[in-house]
Every structure is written in C-alpha cells, then in structure tokens.
Amino acid sequence: MKTLLRILLGLCLLVVTVWFLVTQPIFFKTPKSDSPEVDAATLESHVRTLSEVLPKRIGKESNLEITSKWIEEQLVPYGKSYRQSYKVNDKNFHNILINFEPMVKHPSEDIIIVGAHYDTAHGYPGADDNASGVAVLLNLASRLKIKNDQAEVKDKNNYLFLSFSGEEMGLLGSNYFSKNPTIDAESINYMINMDMVGRMKVDSTLAVYGTGTSPMFKQTLKSNNDKFKLVENESGVGPSDHTSFYLIDIPVLHFFTGQHEDYHKPGDDSEKLNYEGMNLISDYIYEIINDLDDNGELAFRKTKNESEESPRFKVGLGVVPDYLYDGKGMRIDGTREDTPAFNAGLQKGDVVLKLGDSTITDMMSYMRALSVFDNGDEADITVKRGDKTIEAKVKF
C-alpha cells in the first residue's frame, strides 16, 4: 500500500513539474517596456521626404513654406498646433509649434521644449543637416503622445515641440522665439535640441553639449547610457538653436553625431545616414525625458563660454576637423580641393600631431597653432596616418 502511495505521489509531482515547466514563461515573462518603439521605416521616410521631395517642389510658395506646412501636418495629431511668423529683410519665416499637455485636467506649469531646425543651407538636400533632427523630433512627439495616451499616470511635464526656421542664417527662428515666446518663458523647464544626428560612426560616438547647464544632466546622461561613447561639453553656447535658450537662462542639451565632409554640400543625402543610430538616439532622449519627469523644475547653471577663449586666425588649413575625436592630436574628417591641406597631400583620417613649432594635442591647441600664421606663410606639419608618421609642408 505504501509503495502504491509513493508511486501515486511521484506521478503527481511529475505532473506538477511538467505543468510548471510548460507554463513558466507565463509567470516569468519579461515585462514589456512602456516605451513605444522607434519606427525605423518612418524615420527614414521622413528624412527622404524632407531631403529629397520637398526641396524639389516648385510652386507659388517657397520651399521653406512648403516644408513648414508639411511638418505642421505631421505634428497635428500630437497636440495643438500653431505657427509663429516673423520677417527678416522682407522675407517671411515660420516656426512650427505643437503644444502637448499630458495632464489635461490639471496641466503642469513646467514645459519641456524639444526642438530641431528645418531649413537647409544653400538649398542642398540637408539629410543630416537637419532632416535627421526633424525626423527624431517627429518620432519623439509620437512616442510621448502614445505613452501618455496609454498610461494611467501621465507625465508631470508638458511638451512644446518646436521646429525652427532660419537657423542656417544665424539662429533666427530660435532667437525670435526666445525674445517673443508664445508661452511664459518662466515655465520652460529645459530645452533639448537635435541638429545633425544622422551620421553616427561605427564607434557610436555621440556628442552632447550643455551638460553643465543643470546639475542634473551629467548623472542623468550617464545612468541612461549603455550604447554610446559620449563626448560631453558643458557649455550652453554653440552653433545651434539651444544657444538661444541658454542665453535666457534655460538648461539645454544639444545632441550631435559629428561633422563630415558633406556638411553644407550637395552630398548631404539620405543614403549616407545611419538610421539605426538615429533609432538609438531617439531611444536615449526618450529615456532622459522620462527620467527627468519627476525631478520638478531643473536648476539652471551658467557655464564657461569656450568660444570666447578660442583664438582668432587669418588662415585655414582647409580641412573638416573631427570634433568628436578624443585622442591625441586633431583628426581630419575631410579635405577640400585647392586648399593648403589638399596641396600638402593630407587625407581624411590623418591625425595632425605638429604644426610649425607647436605640438597638437587637441582642437584648442590646433587652433592656437593656426592663429600665428599669415597668408603666404609656410609651415612644417606632422601627421599620423595609420601606423606611419608623415612630415610635409603646407603653404597658407
């Protein structure tokens, strides 16, 4: 009898074990992320529309007008849309704004501005500069709207998605908004800017400027990063629209994947963009926004303006520097024909180690070395090319 009971008990244990193993995934499923996924196809589609379709359209309105209306149409589903118009030299310009308030019944007083300029230089395609930034802006608007529509607990911050015009002419759109805000400027918590975020390199380097403009930023960037080699710059001043907000005492973060030889040239087209890299950047910014949501109003901190310390120079080498290079020297990201660098045989990827009598350790030392030369001067230059050290002469 005891033997029979043991057999029956063993069978019961076997059945329970099998049942547990079969149903275990139900109990131990990894919870789905509440982050709406990036739609890579949509990112690429938006870049192609902005860089290939819209600039070539011909009609009574300017390309800038057509582009602004297209962006407004894309943003309409995400909130209340309106445009801020202004004139420069009798030409009409428009900033496109979408206001999204997750807590409709009890709207927050804190507003996050997510921005990217939509104008291009010289009518070139501008896939990286700055269709990439606008595409990520549209993606973030969609993700934050979906998240808050589905969530029981809404975001504490409100959002203003803002696409600027006139950036290439001197930050015209963001400067106009900062001086003529459509909202109470005191309610702006912080500003995120995306400009040229489409050319991430194989080492996943991502530059983030403005990291010193609030004490919260550095730790937030670090704790949410497991994908990028970050190059951080504390200054809130730089050659993009975040500067206009920093100058009215608003914390800023500016995202940038680096300079390249197609900058402001016809070759800045959609085929050369890293869309997977753009996916990762959108993910990263989304997580940063979520992380900062329960921190209330961020403290603002003034930073040293590094551009004021930059030396002035009369000549140029004729190269595109790799601003994200963090090794010793100044790495060349591209050269232009009929320039001192090109005529001296310098190539993309060369690292300048010495110019004249000056040792080059970084971008600042390169600029200081360059500042001592006048037009017509000659100088020795030493570069590292792969494993070789090459010496040449440049004539300015």
Provide the sign of the torsion angle of the four alpha carbons 124, 130, 135, 137, taken in this order: negative
Structural contact between residues 215 and 299, judged by C-beta atoms closer than 8 angstroms: yes
**13 domain-assigned:** no
For residue 21, the model assigns a pLDDT of 41
C-alpha 323/C-alpha 257 separation (Å) is 9
Q: Which two tokens stand for residue 367?
A: 């600029």
Does 215 lie in the same domain as 252? yes
Residue 73: is it exposed, middle or buried by C-beta count within 10 angstroms (0-12/13-18/19+)? exposed
**136 domain-assigned:** yes
What separation in angstroms does the CA of 208 have from each of 143, 189, 212, 228, 315?
22, 18, 10, 11, 29
Does 295 lie in the same domain as 334? no
Could you read off the pLDDT tens digit of each residue along the chain, which spans 396 residues? 555 555 555 555 555 444 444 444 333 333 334 556 666 789 999 999 999 988 644 433 467 888 999 999 999 999 888 899 998 888 889 999 999 887 655 556 899 999 999 998 888 899 999 999 999 999 999 999 999 999 888 899 999 999 999 888 889 999 999 999 999 999 999 999 999 999 999 999 999 999 999 999 999 999 999 999 999 999 998 889 999 999 999 999 999 999 888 888 899 999 999 999 999 999 999 999 999 999 999 999 999 765 555 566 788 898 888 877 878 999 998 887 889 999 999 998 999 999 998 999 888 788 888 888 989 999 999 999 999 999 999 999
C-alpha 245/C-alpha 135 separation (Å) is 21
For residue 324, the model assigns a pLDDT of 76
Count: domains in the chain: 2
Does 301 lie in the same domain as 333? no
Domain final residue pick, 306, 340, 363 = 306
**383 domain-assigned:** yes
Does 346 lie in the same domain as 245? no
The model's pTM: 0.78
Q: Are strands 205-209 and 229-233 parallel, antiparallel or unpaired?
A: parallel
- SS in 3 state form for 67-136? HHHHHHHHHHHHCEEEEEEEEECCEEEEEEEEEECCCCCCCCCCEEEEEEECCCCCCCCCHHHHHHHHHH
Structural contact between residues 284 and 278, judged by C-beta atoms closer than 8 angstroms: no
Provide the sign of the torsion angle of the four alpha carbons 303, 309, 315, 316, taken in this order: negative
C-alpha 222/C-alpha 227 separation (Å) is 11
C-alpha 251/C-alpha 304 separation (Å) is 14
For residue 307, the model assigns a pLDDT of 54
SS3 233: strand
Q: Are strands 330-335 and 252-256 parallel, antiparallel or unpaired?
A: unpaired
Does 375 lie in the same domain as 286? no
Tell me, what CATH number does 348's domain have? 2.30.42.10
Does 192 lie in the same domain as 234? yes
Domain with 276, as residue range(s), is 40-306
**26 domain-assigned:** no
User: Which of these, 121, 86, 116, lies nearest to 98 by C-alpha position?
Assistant: 116
Does 287 lie in the same domain as 330? no
Does 287 lie in the same domain as 174? yes
C-alpha 155/C-alpha 106 separation (Å) is 11
Domain final residue pick, 306, 332, 352 = 306
For residue 261, the model assigns a pLDDT of 85
**228 domain-assigned:** yes
Structural contact between residues 207 and 258, judged by C-beta atoms closer than 8 angstroms: yes
C-alpha 115/C-alpha 277 separation (Å) is 19
Helix intervals (H) in the chain: 2-27, 40-48, 63-75, 132-150, 172-179, 217-223, 242-246, 275-292, 340-343, 363-370
Cross-strand pairs, 231: 207
**27 domain-assigned:** no
CB neighbours of 281 closer than 8 A, spacing ≥ 6?
136, 194, 197, 200, 206, 255, 257
CB neighbours of 323 closer than 8 A, spacing ≥ 6?
207, 258, 259, 363
For residue 23, the model assigns a pLDDT of 42
Tell me, what CATH number does 112's domain have? 3.40.630.10
Does 299 lie in the same domain as 327? no
Domain final residue pick, 278, 306, 334 = 306
